[in-house]
Structure 1
């Protein structure tokens, strides 16, 4: 699985003009299941993200994890993280998991994150509008 993390002061997701998820300080997690991914990949990704020390401590060093800060997570599915841009001008998405697998793994990942953190989510497969205030800015790519 792939995830793009953005450390945020706040983030929200809107579908059809209605805000369906929002958080204050924490992480916006854009997540994509790839072909061949399993629940074990989702487990590893959730564990890794929860332990990443990317939040500032009292000395302004990136030394604290999401768990240390008590921050929240906004988990949004984004199959375009599977984009292959190596050929031509139109990205290919053939490495993304099939929609039914993608939904299952996205929901599994979000549930894993919710065991330890306050979690809001987007809606799988929907046309979503995501707003955020990137803190830092800090944006990190993670795979498991």
Structure 2
């Protein structure tokens, strides 16, 4: 191919010549992270978080997560604290009744309250997960929440 002279050929870099790189620009912008000053640890944490999120939504899809929510699921998503407290109190009471003869000290009572609170926390976090699922269904255009009037 003949060069017509209109454009100059790119200068080939010799292997023994150091590459000309603006080190300040490279240090301030990391191409992998797309942001300035992103450390490797934060980048790795972001990648792990994205993988976990994708895995969660994949499992949700496999279990029928793209179906429209029932009225009970809508209630739980609107009121996750009420769901948590509403399950923690009966769970603590049930644990108390089951161990009524063995509750002697304050530590035993704290154990009952802790068990009920853990149960309520589990249900409350499940309700928050349902809220996230419903927001995703809304974002994907699969479901619209009913208008409350």
TM-score, normalised via structure 1 length: 0.23
More helix, by proportion: 2
More strand, by proportion: 1
The structure with the largest alpha-carbon Rg is 2
Choose between structure 1 and 2 for higher RCO, CA contacts under 8 A separated by at least 6 residues. 1
